[in-house]
Amino acid sequence: MEEGAEVVARARLICGEQHVLTAPTVLSTYRSDGLRRSGPLPLAAILPGSAAEVAGVVSACAATGTRFVVRGAGTSHSGGALPTADGVLIVLTRMRRIVALDEGGDEITVEPGAPPAALARAAPARWFADADPIGTVGGHIAETPGIGNVCGLELVQSDGTSVRLDARDPGYGITGAFPGSRGRAGIAVAITLRTVSRR
Amino acid sequence: MSETVVPRSFSEAAAALAGAAAQERPVRVVGGGTKLGWGGAAPPRALRLLTTHLDRVVVHDDGVIATLNAGTSLVRTQAILGRTGLMFAVDPQLGLGRPAATVGGVVATGDAGPLSHRFGTVADQIVGITVALSDGTVVRTGPRSGQEQDGYDLAKLLTGSFGTLGVILAVDAHVRLVPAETATALGSSGDPGLLRDVVEVVTARHGDLEAFDVAWIAGRGGLLAQLGGDESNARAAAVAQTMRACGLDGTTVRVDDAGLWARQRAGQRSAVRAVLRVHTRRRELDVVLKLADEVGGTLVGRAARGIAYLTLDVGRIAAVRAGLPAGSAAVALDLPAGARGAVDPWNVGEGSELELMRGLKAGFDPARVCNPGVFVGGI
């Protein structure tokens, strides 16, 4: 069987045929990052459309022993978005919904592929202290240590299981420690950010 | 009587921890000893590792970061930083008697005070950490370590971890300028809903507050908003005007305000009753104030951060937890003698979040020697 065929087949069942890309000409789009460095062609670029699909794809990777790299818009300068030749890319740019905006706009929950501009559109009277103008919210948080306004996360862990975290809950400060973890602490499939008033 | 070790260096602390791990002997880390009653009970035969000889403060040349060794008392830390007009912007109550709280104890418990309105949580002040792990290694993280973050930000993860992942030896922390002068605007009301609404207005209009607290007792309370720096008196008068326009009574400005804030901090601790640290959404302040009345409690807290310290009788803790809005948390900090063991201080149920935390504990401290049993879910 061709390398990666099984995980690709599983991913197509989970995400749909059109969201699992394997053609080399198409995959070349996903080889580079914000510094235009080129990595190898991955086995596939998989674009899940929901948290459940991310969990399913990660489970498929775990079951088939396939390495994966998680990617947003691929604008980082750290190399964190570059694929490996023996793995797949999980690309989160289809997941760009605003999930919730609480009364008064103190907190907003978004999917990781949402562009930062979507935050300002959803809550124009609020300000996002650590928002980067480019890329995706998820990519920015995964690649930037010290971001202080993450107050909730839904994570898909490396075995495909999910966990919800709220900064108000007692326990280890995982929501605060997550920014800058570069995908090594799980995939954030929903991110709640604390906002401040735009004066 | 528990055996005690008092390391004089990071390597001595790491060696003591590794030695205890080799003997499968739990270690209880102790700083000033002002919060030993918080969390679950430590095993009775635990080795006490006293950090108080790890007491050094170094302000780096950039003038914005200081390395604070864990055993340094907060009083001494602020005195040293204060010589050059600086402070560590973390101001909890420093103890029930002696103000003996140490940097390590405050970081380990995430304990904070009124300045968290402007500067955020303790974790927000910490950019790097030096920690001894139970395998005897000493790990330093953060910008001054030369190490890139690989996975979780350890400084954030260990802050508030109650010493269950390793022994905190030092932190690299932001230092801030002490304002040359301060003034505090005050206003009061017996209407919880009005106080909630005024918090919203003041927060939106006055983004330059150093501290913004609420105090509540027996159906009446007030807001305290501190301004610092240039023209603080005039700026406080503007805040008082906002409070007055919103309908608060007795609005005034106090320039000599240190006593006001000392009372707020003191309200976070109790030697005879229970203290619950309640965390809700900011807009739920009125719910918490009404609950305080229902259970005969008194309350101080951060008006705009959704954090309140509710002093009450132990028997009313369950009623508070049942009455809080969904998504809130209520951690029991101080409990009177005899009540420990009868109340779960954490109130965290089984689930994937707790499993993740147990996995972290197992990864950092596989020998399970660092403060075992004191944290959520018996971690």
B115: domain CATH number?
3.30.465.10
Q: Is residue B369 part of a domain?
A: yes
Evaluate the CA torsion angle B196, B200, B201, B205 in order and state its sign.
positive
Measured CA to CA in angstroms, residue B346 lies from A102, B38, B335, B338 at distances of: 26, 10, 12, 17
Q: Is residue B242 part of a domain?
A: yes
Measured CA to CA in angstroms, residue B344 lies from B312, B318, B339, B347 at distances of: 16, 10, 10, 6
Please check whether residue B156 is in contact with residue B250, taking contact to mean a CB–CB distance below 8 angstroms.
no
Task: Tell me the pLDDT of chain B averaged across its residues.
Answer: 95
One domain for residues B49 and B171: yes
Provide the percentage of residues in chain A whose pLDDT is more than 70: 94
* Residues spanned by the domain of B262: 182-339
Q: B-chain residues within 8 Å CB-CB of A180?
A: 149, 153
Helix axes B192-205, B232-246, angle to 10 degrees: 140
From the candidates A172, A174, A175, A198, which should be mutated to test the interface with B, based on the most B CB atoms within 10 A?
A: A172
- Per residue in B208-224, pLDDT tens? 999 999 999 999 999 99
From the candidates B212, B348, B356, B361, which should be mutated to test the interface with A, based on the most A CB atoms within 10 A?
A: B356
- Per residue in B49-91, pLDDT tens? 999 999 999 999 888 999 999 999 999 999 999 999 999 999 9
Helix axes A5-15, A51-64, angle to 10 degrees: 160
The side-by-side arrangement of strands in the sheet containing B57-59 is B57-59, B65-69, B167-174, B126-132, B138-141
User: Which backbone phi and psi does B42 adopt, to 5 degrees?
Assistant: -80, 155
- To the nearest whole angstrom, how far is the Cα of A41 from the nearest Cα of chain B? 25
Q: Is residue B95 part of a domain?
A: yes
Calpha distance B241→B334 (Å, rounded):
37
What is the structure's pLDDT at A35?
75
Please tell me the total count of domains within chain B: 2
One domain for residues B173 and B206: no
Please check whether residue B145 is in contact with residue B74, taking contact to mean a CB–CB distance below 8 angstroms.
no
Nearest to B228 by CA among B92, B64, B118, B63: B118
Nearest CA in chain A to B120: A148
Calpha distance B271→B311 (Å, rounded):
10
Quick one: pLDDT band at residue A120, thresholds 50, 70, 90? confident
Q: What is the CATH number of the domain that holds B284?
A: 3.40.462
- To the nearest whole angstrom, how far is the Cα of A76 from the nearest Cα of chain B? 15
Chain B touched by A80 (CB under 8 Å): no
What is the structure's pLDDT at A105?
77
Please check whether residue B379 is in contact with residue B345, taking contact to mean a CB–CB distance below 8 angstroms.
no
With a CB cutoff of 8 Å and minimum separation 6, the contacts of B129 are B107, B140, B141, B142, B154, B155, B158, B159, B168, B170, B171, B172
Please state the rounded mean pLDDT for residues B156-168. Answer: 97
Q: Is residue B350 part of a domain?
A: no
Q: Is residue B102 part of a domain?
A: yes
Nearest to B270 by CA among B298, B290, B295: B298
One domain for residues B68 and B188: no
One domain for residues B48 and B187: no
Which of B149, B200, B328 comes nearest A180 by C-beta?
Answer: B149
One domain for residues B153 and B187: no
Q: B-chain residues within 8 Å CB-CB of A165?
A: 353, 356
What is the structure's pLDDT at B1?
55
What is the structure's pLDDT at B63?
84
Quick one: pLDDT band at residue A124, thresholds 50, 70, 90? confident
User: Which backbone phi and psi does B4 adopt, to 5 degrees?
Assistant: -125, 135
Verdict on whether the full-model pTM lies above 0.80: yes
Provide the percentage of residues in chain A whose pLDDT is more than 90: 63
Q: B-chain residues within 8 Å CB-CB of A169?
A: 329, 348, 353
What is the structure's pLDDT at B122?
96
From the candidates B127, B147, B148, B156, which should be mutated to test the interface with A, based on the most A CB atoms within 10 A?
A: B156
One domain for residues B59 and B94: yes
What is the structure's pLDDT at B61?
85
- Per residue in B307-332, pLDDT tens? 999 999 999 999 999 999 999 999 99
User: Is the pLDDT assigned to residue A130 strictly greater than 90?
Assistant: no
- Per residue in B187-196, pLDDT tens? 999 999 999 9
With a CB cutoff of 8 Å and minimum separation 6, the contacts of B81 are B57, B59, B66, B87, B88, B175
Calpha distance B204→A185 (Å, rounded):
35
Please state the rounded mean pLDDT for residues B277-293. Answer: 96
| Residues of chain B numbered 347-366 and touching chain A (CB < 8 Å) | 347-348, 352-357, 360
Quick one: pLDDT band at residue A4, thresholds 50, 70, 90? confident
User: Is the pLDDT assigned to residue A2 strictly greater than 80?
Assistant: no
Annotate B261-330 with DSSP letters as a single string: HHHHHHTT--SSSEEEEEE--GGGHHHHHHHHHHTT-EEEEETTTTEEEEEE-GGGHHHHHHHSPTT-EE
Among all chains, which residue has been given the structure tokens 């069987």? A1
Nearest CA in chain A to B207: A199
One domain for residues B306 and B366: no
Least confident of A9-23, B146-160, B249-263: B146-160
The SS3 assignment for A5 reads helix
Chain A touched by B378 (CB under 8 Å): no
Q: Would the CB atoms of B204 and A197 count as touching at under 8 Å?
A: yes
Q: Would the CB atoms of A182 and B150 count as touching at under 8 Å?
A: yes
Q: Domains (ranges, CATH) in chain A?
A: 2-91 (3.30.43.10), 98-197 (3.30.465.10)
Q: Would the CB atoms of B153 and A176 count as touching at under 8 Å?
A: yes
What is the structure's pLDDT at A1?
64
Calpha distance B186→B254 (Å, rounded):
8
Q: Is residue B314 part of a domain?
A: yes
Provide the percentage of residues in chain B whose pLDDT is more than 90: 91
Measured CA to CA in angstroms, residue B93 lies from B215, B255, B261, B305 at distances of: 15, 22, 10, 18
Nearest CA in chain B to A177: B153
One domain for residues B105 and B201: no
Cα angle: A47, vertex A50, A53; to 5 degrees: 70
Calpha distance B301→B117 (Å, rounded):
10
- Per residue in B272-284, pLDDT tens? 999 999 999 999 9
Q: Are strands A107-110 and B4-5 parallel, antiparallel or unpaired?
A: unpaired
Calpha distance B362→B348 (Å, rounded):
19
Give the number of other CB atoms < 10 A from CB of residue B66: 21
Which of A168, A171, A182 comes nearest B357 by C-beta?
Answer: A171
- Per residue in B251-271, pLDDT tens? 999 999 999 999 999 999 999
Q: Is residue B347 part of a domain?
A: no
One domain for residues B157 and B171: yes
Calpha distance A108→A119 (Å, rounded):
8
From the candidates A169, A175, A195, A199, which should be mutated to test the interface with B, based on the most B CB atoms within 10 A?
A: A169
Quick one: pLDDT band at residue B30, thresholds 50, 70, 90? very high
Annotate A114-182 with DSSP letters as a single string: --HHHHHHH-TTEE-TT--SSS-HHHHHHH-TT---EEEEEEE-TTS-EEEEETTSSS--HHHH-TT-T
Please state the rounded mean pLDDT for residues A117-139. Answer: 78
Which of B165, B281, B347 comes nearest A106 by C-beta?
Answer: B281
Quick one: pLDDT band at residue B226, thresholds 50, 70, 90? very high
Chain A touched by B147 (CB under 8 Å): no
With a CB cutoff of 8 Å and minimum separation 6, the contacts of A76 are A33, A34, A135, A139, A143
Q: Would the CB atoms of A180 and B207 count as touching at under 8 Å?
A: no
Q: B-chain residues within 8 Å CB-CB of A161?
A: 352
One domain for residues B63 and B122: yes
Residue B311: both structure tokens together: 């002093």
Q: Would the CB atoms of A174 and B356 count as touching at under 8 Å?
A: yes
User: Which backbone phi and psi does B73 adopt, to 5 degrees?
Assistant: -70, 150
Q: Are strands A67-71 and A44-46 parallel, antiparallel or unpaired?
A: unpaired
Task: Tell me the pLDDT of chain A averaged across its residues.
Answer: 90
Which of B124, B150, B376 comes nearest A148 by C-beta?
Answer: B124
What is the structure's pLDDT at A26?
93
Please state the rounded mean pLDDT for residues A3-7. Answer: 90
Q: Would the CB atoms of B353 and A164 count as touching at under 8 Å?
A: yes
Residue A60: both structure tokens together: 């498929």
One domain for residues B320 and B370: no
Quick one: pLDDT band at residue A158, thresholds 50, 70, 90? very high
Q: Is residue B24 part of a domain?
A: yes
Chain B touched by A144 (CB under 8 Å): no
User: Is the pLDDT assigned to residue B149 strictly greater than 90?
Assistant: no
Please state the rounded mean pLDDT for residues B353-357. Answer: 96
User: Is the pLDDT assigned to residue A198 strictly greater than 60?
Assistant: no
One domain for residues B221 and B316: yes
What is the structure's pLDDT at A127?
67
